[in-house]
Structure 1
Amino acid sequence: MAPLKPGDKFPSDVVFDWVPIKNQDATLAGTPQDFNASSEWKGKRVVLVSVPGAFTPSCQAYHLPPYIDQLDKLKAKGVDQVAVIASNDGWVMSAWGKVNRVEGTDILFMGDTKSGFSKKHGWDAGMGDRNGRWAMVIDRDGTVKYADNEQDPTKVTVSGVEAVLSNL
């Protein structure tokens, strides 16, 4: 299937694995549940960020921190929510969110188990069951406004917060 691109509608069947963050203790696991992104994001402007894996060096050091640090800038440009996905399960993603202290923010950490969404829409990393490194902006009407995939998954350029901010 061709990758989603600006002007496309966000699919109506997207569900991620999610463990809500209810405390900052990464050793306490919550209950996993489905997060129906297609319905939960109706009427919201969402930045969807995909990384190859939670806690991996580039993701933790270079990709994620600017999104956390610049959440206020994203919100000032009309973003309602930022969602970070990786091929990890919901428990790992929840622990990663806890370690990065996102409880109470508008940043969700969710599992794209076995890269189901990324593979279906053409943006896996080509490394087995790993997501690619990409970013997408979904407007309130469900239209993809921005979407770009890193050609080199070790780099953070078109999927970084600065690229997203410049395309809002």
Structure 2
Amino acid sequence: MSASIKVGDAIPEAEFPTVFWSEELESGAACGVPSKLSTKDWAGKKVVVVAVPGAFTPTCHVNHIPAYVKNSQAFKDKGVDQVVVVAANDPFVMSGWGRINGAKGNVLFVTDTYAQWSKKLDLSVDLTGHGLGERTGRYALILDDLKVTKLFVEPNPGAVSNTGAEHILAEL
């Protein structure tokens, strides 16, 4: 996977369907109502975007995203305004995944519908052969005021190395 977006580029605009965390969602009795998170909301902010092929998939669920939630305060301490997990799953699945991970709004879990935004970055992956269709690849972006300051793409999408939370923290 080779990205068309490069360090120094402005990210393309997008609106991500999102069920924002609230206390009433914690019991699981409510599912929330999707709204939109716009990339425009990141203007003037430092944002870490981490994309994964799928919520609740083994590598993403066990080895990748929990460290972002666990280290959410460390990201804030390094000046990051928002950590955003992106996948091509629907917003209800992403909301549930955020709750299972204990994110409580400290890390946002958003939907890249049909991996459209990732396709614009040339960072999507076709997993049709695995029954998953077109998905977001495994990548991480460090953004400052809507511009890419660092970009990491996993050389092996089934593993976590340069997109892991510890690596990204060291790069900040």
CA drift at 1:2? 5.0
Query: What fraction of aligned residue pairs are identical, expressed as a percent?
Result: 40
Q: 1:57 to 1:26 in 2, by over 3 A?
A: farther
The residue correspondences of 1:7-46 to structure 2 (distance < 5 A) are 7-11=8-12, 13-22=13-22, 23-37=25-39, 39-46=40-47
Closer, same or farther: CA 9–156 of 1 in aligned 2, 3 Å: same
> Structure 2 counterpart of 1:67, which letter?
Y
Q: Distance in 1 between matches of 2:171 and 2:59?
A: 23
Deviates most, 87-96 or 25-34: 25-34
2:102 alignment partner in structure 1:
101
User: What is the CA deviation profile of residues 143-163 of structure 1, one whole-angstrom value per residue up to 9, with x for unaligned ones?
Assistant: 211111112110111111122
TM-score by length of 1: 0.91
Cα 1:58–1:7 shift into 2, 3 Å: same
Measured after TM superposition, the shift of residue 46 of structure 1 is: 0.4
1:142 corresponds to 2:143: no
On the 8 A contact 1:26/1:99 being kept in 2, the answer is: no
Secondary structure of the 2:135 match is coil
Matched AA of 2:56: F
- Cα 1:116–1:27 change in 2 (3 A) is farther
Match of 1:160 in 2: 164
Q: In 1, distance between residues paired with 2:138 and 2:29?
A: 27
Q: CA RMSD in A?
A: 1.5
- For 2:83, the equivalent position in structure 1 comes to 82
Structure 2: which 5+ runs fail to align? Answer: 128-132
- Partner residue, 1:131: 136
Q: Is the 8 A contact 2:18 2:91 kept in 1?
A: yes
Instruction: Kindly state the Cα deviation for residue 16 of structure 1 after the two structures are TM-superposed.
Output: 0.7
Runs of at least 5 residues in structure 1 that lack an aligned partner in the other structure: none
| Equivalences, count | 164
2:54–2:135 contact (8 Å) kept in structure 1: yes
- Mapped to 2, the partners of 1:18 and 1:104 lie a distance apart of 11
